[in-house]
Amino acid sequence: MKTLLPTSTAGSLPKPSWLAQPETLWSPWKLQGDELADGKQDALRLSLQQQQLAGIDIVSDGEQTRQHFVTTFIEHLNGVDFNQRKTVRIRNRYDASVPTVVGPVSRPKPVFVEDAKFLRTQTSQPIKWALPGPMTMIDTLYDDHYKSREQLAWEFAKILNQEAKDLEAAGVDIIQFDEPAFNVFFDEVNEWGIKCLERAIEGLKCETAVHICYGYGIKANTDWKKTLGSEWRQYEAVFPKLQQSNIDIISLECHNSHVPLELLELIRGKKVMVGAIDVATDTIETPEEVAATLRKALQYVDADKLYPCTNCGMAPLSRDVATGKLNALAAGAEIVRNELLAR
C-alpha cells in the first residue's frame, strides 16, 4: 500500500433489511432463488459504496453474501452433515448446536470466488477478503470422523489454501483468516494452529492477514470479557510465534479493550491492523478518539506498517451506527496521517 495508514474494516458490515433481519447474527435470508442471488449482489454494491463514501482505503464485500463468517464456508464443503447436530461449547464460552463431521472434508467447488470476481469488477481499490481460520472452523463443529482437532484443522487448512489461491486469481489483494480461537486455545495455537495457518497461505503471492479479536459485541462475548480482568494479555501467548510466522498482517482489537498496547512490541516488524473502532457499543467514536488509539499504537508499530481498522466485524450493528463508525475511522486516520506527514 502506498497510502499512509490505509483504512479497512475487519470484514462484516450490516445487511440491508430487505435481505436479512438487521442487528441479528445468523439472520435468515428474506429472499429466495434468483432473487436472493441478485439481492446479495445488490447488497454487496451498497456495502462497497458505504465504505467508499466513508473514504475506506482497502474495501471488502462487507460479507453480504454469507449468513455467518464460519458456517457459510463450511456449508459448501463435503463431509459435514448439517442435519446431524450436536451441542458443543464454542471457544469455551457458550453452547451451540453445531453440524457433525461425518467423513473426509473437501471443497467440491470454489465458495466465494464468484463474489470476489464481482467485487473486483466494481472497484479498482485494493480488496481484502475474509475466510475463517482452520482452528476457528474446527471449534464450530462436532467431529465424528477424524476425532482429532489437529488433523481436522490440517484438512481445513488444505481446503482454505485452495480457496485462497482461487481468490488471489480473482484479484483479491489481501486474504484474511479470522481466528478468534487464537485468543483461547494458546497451547494448540503454538503447537499447530499457526502451522495450519501457514499451510493455508502456502504459495500465495498476495498479502495475508490473521484477525484475532475478542468477538462480536454479542452477549456471550461481552459476558466473557467481564471475566478477563482489567488487563487482557491473551495476545501475549501467541504473538512470539506469530511474529516468526509467514503471515504478513495481524488484525487486532485495540480500542476500548483492555489489551495493553505494549504487547504490540512482540510483533514488531509485522504489519498491524489496529482496531480503533469498538464494535460492541452503539456509541460512535469521535475522530479524535480514533486518532488517540492510533497514536498509542504508533509507539509500537512503525507508521508504514500501521493499518487503521475496526476491532471486529460490524454485522450486528445498525447501518447508521456502522456508517458513523466508518466515517470516524477514516477521519481519525486522516488526523494522524496529516500529523505524520507534517513531521
Query: Residues in the site for Zn ion, rule: CB under 5 A?
Result: 213, 312
Strand 94-106 versus strand 142-143 pairing type = parallel
Beta carbon of residue 121, minimum distance to Zn ion (angstroms, whole number): 28
Beta carbon of residue 68, minimum distance to Zn ion (angstroms, whole number): 12
Cα separations in angstroms, 89 against 75, 95, 141, 340: 20, 4, 10, 46
Beta carbon of residue 203, minimum distance to Zn ion (angstroms, whole number): 26
Residues forming beta bridges with residue 251, ordered by sequence position: 211, 273
Beta carbon of residue 10, minimum distance to Zn ion (angstroms, whole number): 5
Beta carbon of residue 226, minimum distance to Zn ion (angstroms, whole number): 18
User: What are φ and ψ of residue 267, in 5° steps?
Assistant: -115, 20
33 residue type, one letter? G
H or E segment to which residue 324 belongs = helix 319-342
41 vs 169: CA distance, rounded Å: 20
Beta carbon of residue 180, minimum distance to Zn ion (angstroms, whole number): 6
Beta carbon of residue 218, minimum distance to Zn ion (angstroms, whole number): 11
Residues forming beta bridges with residue 252, ordered by sequence position: 212, 274
Nearer to Zn ion, 213 or 277 (CB): 213
Nearer to Zn ion, 146 or 214 (CB): 214
Nearer to Zn ion, 284 or 312 (CB): 312
Nearer to Zn ion, 170 or 197 (CB): 197
304 vs 298: CA distance, rounded Å: 10
Nearer to Zn ion, 149 or 211 (CB): 211
Closest among 224, 203, 190 to 90, alpha carbons compared = 224
Beta carbon of residue 164, minimum distance to Zn ion (angstroms, whole number): 19
264 vs 112: CA distance, rounded Å: 32
User: What are φ and ψ of residue 339, in 5° steps?
Assistant: -60, -45
Nearer to Zn ion, 133 or 332 (CB): 133
Cα separations in angstroms, 276 against 59, 133, 190, 221, 257: 17, 22, 27, 18, 10
Nearer to Zn ion, 142 or 185 (CB): 185
Give burial (CB, 10 Å; 0-12/13-18/19+) of 109.
Answer: exposed
Residue 218 and residue 243 in contact, taking contact as beta carbons nearer than 8 Å: no
Nearer to Zn ion, 7 or 41 (CB): 7
Instruction: Return the C-alpha cell found at 332.
Output: 481519525
